Each structure stands twice: as C-alpha cells, then as structure tokens.
Amino acid sequence: MLSEKQKDRAATAVIRVGGILVILVVVAIVVNIGLEALPLFEGASSGPLDRLGSAGEAVLAGSDPRREVVWVLTRSGRIEFPADPARTAIELTAGAAVIAADLEIDGRLAVLDDAGRITVGSLRFRDEWADGQRTTSVRWRPSAEPLELGRDRRWQGVTATGSDEGAVAAVAWDADGQLASAAWDGDSASWARLQPPVLGGQVTSAAISQDLVTAALVNADGCLRVVRLPELDELEVDGLTAPIARARFLIGGGTLVVADRDGGVAILLEVPRVTVTNRSAQPLGLGGRTLAVGESVTVWDDEVSQRFAARPGVEIATAAPIWRAVRTAPGAGSAPTVIAPGHRRRDFLIGSQDGSVSLYYSTSGRRLLAERWSDAPVAALALDLKGDGAVAVAGGELLRRSIANPHPEVSLRTLFLPVHYEGHASAKWVWQTTGGSDAFEPKLSLWPLIFGTLKATLYALLFSVPLALMAAVWVSQLAPARLQTIIKPTLELMAAVPSVVVGFLAALWLAPRLEAALLASIVGAAALPLSVVVALAIWRIAPAGLRRRIPIGGELVVVAISAVGVVTAAVLLTGPVESALFGGDFQRFLFTEWGVRYDQRNSLVVGIALGFAVIPVIFTIAEDACSAVPQSLISASRALGATRWQTAVRLVVPAASPGLFAAVMLGLGRAVGETMIVLMAAGNTPLLDLSMFNGMRTMSAAIAVEIPEAPVGLTLFRVLFLTGILLFAFTLLVTTAADVVGSYLRKRYARF
C-alpha cells in the first residue's frame, strides 16, 4: 500500500506531466501552423543558367507550357528550335525579312516584315504518342488574315493582341514615328483601318491592352500617351516625370508597366472616374465639397456611384478614366530593352542593356529577382506560361533559367497595409480570393478579417456583457433563493445549445423579422431603459406598506409590466413616426439620405445571436465570483446599515472584480473564436464598416469557408494558416491581458 506522501508525490508527478504535455501539444500545433505559413515570406529564387546554343539574330523567343520546346523567331521569318535542330522550322513570312515582332500575354505573335505585311497568330503545342513515347508537335495558328500595310513607308515596329472572341487589334509605326492601326473583326473576317491619333514626336514603342480597349504609345521624347480604342481618344496620364523607354500592359489590361531610360520602373493603374451632376433643389455634399444646384464635377469613382445611385436628383455618368502612377519599383539598373509580362499573374520581367534580367510583381511593387544573364544587351525575353521559368536571347545566344516564385502577391505590405488594386480609385484593404475571369487578381489583405473579428466581438459583448454581469450580481445577491435555483441552471443550459443551431435560427428566423420591423425594433430597444425608469418611479411612489408586503423579487413584476407597456406604446407609434419622418420607408431613408445600406444579415443580428452564446459563459463565472465573496463581509455591511443594493455595488462587485474581469475575457475569447454563428448570420462579406446594419467576415469564418477550396501549398492555403496564427495570437493576447489585469485586481482588493 502506498502512503499518503507517496500518493501526493504520484499525483503531483501526473499533474506536472499532464501540464507539460498540454503545453507541448499547443506548441506543436502552433509550430505546425507556422511552418505551413512560413513559405509565404521566402521570396523568389532561380536555378542555374542553361545555354541552349546560338540564336542568331532572333527577335523573339519562348517555350511551350512544359518548358520542353524552346523556340526563336529569326530575322528570316522562321520559327526555329535551336535546342532541337531535328525539329522542322516553321515559315511565317513567305521569305520576307522580319523588321519587328512582338509577343503578347496570351502567346500571340505579331510579325512585321519588309513587305509591309503584319502576320498575327500563335504557336500551338500538342502532345502526340507513338510506341508509348510522348512527343510535342508545334504548329502555327493564324489569328487573322495578314494585314497589308504596303511598301511605301519604312516600317519600324509593331504590336498586336487579340481576344478570345476572335477580335484582333494591331498598331505599327514607321521610321518617321507615324502610326498605322487596324482592327480585325472575327465575325466578318476583315480588317478595318483606324484613324491614328495625332501625337507629338515620333513613336518608338507601343502596346495594346489584352481587352483591346487601350493602347499605350511612347514617342522619341520619352512621352507616354494612352489612347482609348477604337475611338483613339487620348486619356490623361498622371504621375510620370522621367522620359519613358518601354511600356507594357499586364494581364487584364488594367495595369500598365513603364520603364524609363535610366531603368526606373513605375506601375500605372486605370483609375475609374464619374461625372456627378446635382439636379436636385438643394446643394449636395460630395467628398468634403458642396455641389451647387445644376453643378457638375468629375471625381474618382471611389464608391461614389454606389452611394448616390438611388438618390433622387443626382445624375451619375461614366467619365474617361485616368492612368495614374500608383507605385514605383526598384530600378532595373540600366536602360531597358524589353518588358515581358506574365501570362497568369501580374508579374513581369525587364531585360536591360547590361544583360541583366529583373523579376517584378506589380501589385506589391517589389523587385523579386535581379540577375546578370549576359554581358550583352537582352534582345528578346519571355516569361514561361506558369511563371516558373524564362527564356532570353542575348549576344546571339539562347538562354533559359528556371524560376521558383510561388507567392509573389504576398508581402507584409499587401497583407496588412492598404493596396491600390485595379478598378479602385485609391488604396484599400480588400479580401477577395476568387473572381470571374482568368485575369482576376486575388486580394489577400488580412485587415478586413481582423476588423470583422473585432466588430463581431464588439457587438456581441455590447449585447451580452451588461445582461450577463447584471444578471450575475442580481442572482447572487438580490434574487430570492427560489428564483436562483431556476435562473442559474437555465442560463447554464444555454451553453449546451450548439452554435450552428443558434446561427441557423439567427439567419432564417431572427434576421427576416428584424428586417421587417427594423424601426420598431430600434425604438423598442431604446424604450427599454425608459421602462426601467418608469418602473423605478412607480416603485418609489408606491406606499411603503404595500412594498413591504410584496416578497423579494416581486419588483420584477412591476418592471415587466412597465417594459411591456412602454415598448408596446413605442412600437405602436412606429408606423406614424415612420410615415411622418422617414417617408414611410426607414431603410430607404437610411440609404438615400445617409448612404447607409441595410443588409438582412448584419452586425445587429450577429450581436444578438453571438451574445446569446456568450451570455452563459460570462454569467456562470461572474455569478460564481460574486457568490464567493465571504458571507461575513456581506453580513457586516448589512449590520452597518447598508442596503442590499449598496452592499452588492460597493462591496461585492469590487471584491469579485477579478472574477468579473475574467468572465468578460473568457466571453471575449469565446466570441473571437466563434465560427458557425458569424458564418451563417453575418453575411460573410469582408467589409470595413462599423455600421450595425451590414455584416462582416471574421478570421474563423474565412478559414471555414476558404480552406476546403484552397489548393494545398498554394498562396491562399498558406495565407489561411497565417490567419490561424493571428487568431491564436489574439486569443493568447486576450488570455495574457486577463491574467495580468486579474492579478492586479486581486492585489488591489486583497483587503476584502
């Protein structure tokens, strides 16, 4: 038999080992999550440089999606394969010499020959199998009939691109810098010549956006002009000072990359604008200025059109956008010779006169790689389809290098600071992981998720903390024993209700009813404090004899009757008030007059539902803390003449304050980590707005929604793991703060 001392030692050892194991498990979980998120910040890297042989006077180079077939376009107008001499070359220009050529984002080639002819098409790669062996065949697929420009001008450069619908736009320029432009209509299978714009200076470089909407032209003076197709109206360009050497659109057409003659790099975005006209009978406040009656102004469309779309007397028309330099990137080192855009992302390469090649990502403005490939200028450069390699021609040599760049869109800046994205008028925090086109750019700012978590927690605590703490003090100190035995178990049983059930009821039962009676709900909630004041006044004026005959707890009947009466009166007055003050529709009034949009699943619904889940946690701990105050102290206070209320407020609450604070902190932690309630009742929209009438997306809800569809190992997958670390860190911070403040309160009120 073990002695008592041995039993104590054994129990101590078991408890110690159990505690250490718990700590180790938590640390292991955090380390595992951290290891999944760590590759986000490793940056880009490259492999060894492969020299594939002589490329002669190649003007373009590229490879197939598997990076197995490397090709070059020679001056003789042939597609050749220096790394595979046995492969048959492809003739493009029928013997004419190539003057200039261009390789676009979608792999489309534009070739201008000395016969004054533009050939537009793409290389198609196809797998073929023979005797169990796979080979890749290459064939030329024209995008349009050759465009005959004529031999009467000394043509110098060309660019062209096309759409999936078969349309093609082409621009060529001659040695005098004069333009010739045309558009191919896939339906009619014919070219239509466009009237070129009148521009100062000779054109030396040009680019067309992938959506065939915009063209960028650079003249000999280094001036950048941007025109709208097909009208060729010139658009305003803002923020550039240095003379430009090269310009290139990235995927989607909303981003323009320019490199100046000294190697500096700038990223321009198309900023939307609208013209607002005040047709109402009174002045209109618009972004810090007042718009007089009949006055019009053109402003950036920073949600202006959404705000005033339904406002009577306000006309909104789309205005010409402006191309604005929103960020700069570290320079390429020397004068640029070629810009090669990425095919799937907004990354791009810049080749320079000194033979260096630099890799950039436009959204973050970072230079990810900068390496010297050759001592000769880079004549041709292309980024592989998946962005995992590049091909270049420098000094007549064909070069290839692999690139590992899995997470270019992620940096501390893009995760936590506002970023100016395409289609936005200013820098913003945006969380948007999916889109409707191949050109969509994931926006992975974590601040909307952090804000949504804090917002949901705030509204939940605003609803739950007052009710739970007051109920705890009342039940432990003021309620009759008979009510204590009913109320406390009932509230504790609320914690057993599954959160998914609470979220389901909030989304499908509470939210529609709250929307249907919004003004009545607000008025009723505001009238509740008034009902308590009315009940207090009734209780005060009641005869003392009557009050003494009412048992303890009977005052609740007075409060309940008063609450029902006041709230009923307020609700009955809601209809006339809504008709008189808000035009019969309170929600429309909120939107048209204050710009506040009411969403059915909003913060108000979340606050009520999440508060319902948090109340049992706070109440149970707070009630236990109040009940733990020594009865001798309470009896002494009553013996000195203090009322039960005075004893509860001035003695019990201070003495129990460490427990009350711990209850609130645990409720806060419960609200922060909640998933199903906010997922079902909050609308799951990542907004940055404190309004109670719209929803939010929390960190936990984002993880629950996104992780099933996030490809393992890719950027979104790892960002969600980083979100999990932030959620853990926030919980740890709350727990630490609760322990520190609780220790301080225990020391301060130790005299009790």
Contact assessment for residue 224 and residue 453, using Cβ atoms and an 8 Å cutoff: no
Whole-angstrom Cα distance, residue 497 to residue 669? 18
- pLDDT value of position 303: 63
Q: Which run of H or of E encompasses 70?
A: strand 70-73
Q: Is the four-CA dihedral 291, 294, 299, 301 of positive or negative sign?
A: positive
| Nearest CA-CA partner of 182 in 158, 211, 152 | 158
Distance CA 307, CA 590 (A): 11
| pTM, to two decimals | 0.87
Evaluate the CA torsion angle 64, 70, 71, 72 in order and state its sign: positive
- For residue 533, the one-letter residue type is V
Contact 143, 162 (CB under 8 A): yes
Residues in Cβ contact with 389 at an 8 Å cutoff, skipping those fewer than 6 apart: 63, 67, 383, 400, 401, 402, 403
Check residue 497 and report its DSSP letter.
Answer: S
pLDDT of residue 302: 65
Spatial CB neighbours of 27, under 8 Å, sequence gap ≥ 6: none
Residues of the chain with pLDDT under 70: 1, 195-201, 281, 284-291, 300-313, 546-548, 551-555, 749-752
Chain CA centroid to CA 39, Å = 20
Q: So what's the pLDDT on residue 1?
A: 65
Q: Residue 643's pLDDT is what?
A: 82
Rounded CA gap, 522 and 693, in Å?
12
Report CA torsion sign: 539, 544, 546, 552: positive
737 C-beta neighbours (distance < 10 Å), count = 13
The three-point CA angle 577-579-581 to 5° equals 60
Per-residue b or e along 124-139, where b marks 16 or more CB atoms closer than 10 Å to that residue's CB: ebeeeeeeeeeeeebe
CB 697, CB 688: distance < 8 Å: no
Q: Which domains does the chain have, with CATH numbers?
A: 47-269+322-404 (2.130.10.10), 447-748 (1.10.3720.10)
Question: Pairing mode, if any, of strands 133-142 and 117-130?
Answer: antiparallel
Q: Which amino acid is at 680?
A: M
User: Cis ω on the peptide bond leading into residue 230 (within 30° of 0)?
Assistant: yes
